[in-house]
Structure 1
């Protein structure tokens, strides 16, 4: 039983391991929102924005899409693609969703993440700098993207990845639960069971066995 409990604790810790980055992500989202507001007020134009500005814009849009799942998705992208490609993903989102460059390319390693972000966030590409405008998720949000990377099957690697994770967790839980039952079963052996085993192995005579059995039964 202890193994099962510990396993679920480890899974819980793994799922929320990215929580330490929450402060930084919130700060970046705030900075991205400030840049977006300047674009809306015409205080800056797209041509004057830097790569870092688009990275912050991408952080903001991703936060709008995914909410509390943002930090978890960022951590997963870093693990799968590396920090540089995760930054390029943010930059591409910043350029596309701000309308500054609607054909900005995503890194090929990130193709599997786009459908997942769409499903988790239920969000599509904005128009006219509006982060909450809903268009066709598969049309505008992934506009032009299916021709890149894995093509129209870009969602397949990510789905297979999560299926694999679920299967592994399921097998680990079954293994831990089975081990717990085995251990508990051993603890449930009675003195009479042990006495019978000793008699079966020839360690004690029949007379001694009957006497001890009588004592235990009494």
Structure 2
């Protein structure tokens, strides 16, 4: 499982876990006209679902932006000569092949 999926599952789990106290106790202000946001008032369950979706979207966008900004691919450019040197160092090509390709790349 990718790190991204694990972090998304963690965010969603934390978001859902944070709504449990509101669901468990509808509350009362003395005249029973209004409880917590998810139980009383005009929004009912739709308001709670909308809140979960809203914060889930905010967290998902934040995670996506953070991963894009910290990705190794950002700004990573490798020169062809560097790749050729790495292949030679690993033993994938011999010295003659290295010299021939190096000359082709240089002009």
Both structures adopt the same fold (TM-score exceeding 0.5): no
More helix by share: 1
Q: TM-score, normalised by structure 2?
A: 0.42
